[in-house]
Amino acid sequence: MPAFGGAFQPAPYKPSFRKFANPAPLGLCAFALTTFILSLINCSTRGVTVPGIVVASAYAYGGLIQLLAGMWEMAVGNTFGATALSSYGGFWISWALIETSNFGFLAGYESARDTNYAVAFFLAGWFIFTTICLICTLKSTLAFFSLFFFLDITFLLLAVAHFQLDAAGAPHAGCTKAAGVFGLITAFIAWWNAAAGMLENSNSFFMVPVLHFPWSEQVKNEKAGRTD
- Per residue of the chain (228 residues), give pLDDT as tens: 444 456 676 555 555 555 678 899 999 999 999 999 999 999 999 999 999 999 999 999 999 999 999 999 998 888 999 999 999 999 999 999 999 877 778 888 888 899 999 999 999 999 999 999 999 999 889 999 999 999 999 999 999 999 999 888 899 999 999 999 999 999 999 999 999 988 888 888 888 888 888 887 777 777 777 655
Looking at the domain assignment, is residue 172 inside a domain?
A: yes
- Tell me the one-letter amino acid at 61: Y
Asked if 169 and 116 touch (Cβ cutoff 8 Å), the reply is yes
Give the pLDDT confidence score for residue 57 in this predicted structure: 96
d(CA 129, CA 228): 31
Looking at the domain assignment, is residue 81 inside a domain?
A: yes
d(CA 67, CA 61): 9
Residue 70: domain span: 22-223
d(CA 187, CA 128): 19
d(CA 57, CA 51): 11
Report the domain count for the chain.
1
Looking at the domain assignment, is residue 7 inside a domain?
A: no
Give the pLDDT confidence score for residue 33 in this predicted structure: 98
The DSSP secondary-structure symbol of 140 reads S
Looking at the domain assignment, is residue 173 inside a domain?
A: yes
Can you give the pTM of this predicted structure?
Answer: 0.89
Looking at the domain assignment, is residue 115 inside a domain?
A: yes
Looking at the domain assignment, is residue 206 inside a domain?
A: yes
Looking at the domain assignment, is residue 6 inside a domain?
A: no
17: CB partners within 8 A, 6+ apart: none
Give the pLDDT confidence score for residue 5 in this predicted structure: 58
The DSSP secondary-structure symbol of 76 reads T
Nearest alpha carbon to residue 61 among 35, 41, 83: 35
Looking at the domain assignment, is residue 17 inside a domain?
A: no
